[in-house]
Amino acid sequence: MASSVDSADGEIGFQIAPMVDVVFVLMLFFMAIVGAQVVTKELNAFLPSPPHGKADPGAVIVEIGADGSVLFNSEPIGLPGDSQLDGLRDKFRLILREFGDKDPVMLRPESSVRQERVIEVLSAIQSAGVGKVTFL
């Protein structure tokens, strides 16, 4: 009868293959968990505003409401969901063509408006050709 040396002692050796399998399963589990994390991209910040909120009488004032609506000298020009703001861009192009950029452009966002919306409005104003924008 043929017998093995290990079986004669009744001792089973350390098995490495199942340990490698367990390590790989744990590694895959943690890699999947890290990839599924949701990263918040919202910055809770309040925009500065002067104490009196006075503007230059000849200034163009662009206001951003708390809901994201855009007003051009108190006239609605952009809806909250409109990220391109073509109406605002066209209005500034028309003004720049007729009057130039001598009048200041002032941006007045509400304190609770999202930073993303302020950046969309600034991008629309800049793409129209306005170089200087002041916060009010």
| 47 in a structural domain | no
In a domain, 77, yes or no: yes
pLDDT (tens digit per residue) in 51-73: 455 556 678 899 999 999 999 99
Would you say residue 120 lies in a domain?
A: yes
Residue 88 within a domain: yes
Residue 79 lies in domain: 60-135
Q: Identify whether 123 is part of a domain.
A: yes
Residue 53 lies in a domain: no
Digit-coded pLDDT (tens) for 8-59: 566 777 888 889 999 999 999 998 888 777 766 665 555 555 545 555 667 8
Residue 68 lies in a domain: yes
Q: What percent of the chain has pLDDT above 70?
A: 79
CATH number at residue 96: 3.30.420.270
Q: What is the pLDDT of residues 73-124, one digit of tens each?
A: 989 998 888 888 888 999 999 888 888 877 788 899 998 998 899 999 988 9
What are the structure tokens assigned to 69, written together?
A: 């609506």
- What percent of the chain shows pLDDT beyond 90? 24
Q: What is the pLDDT of residue 78?
A: 84
Q: What total number of domains does the chain contain?
A: 1
pTM: 0.58
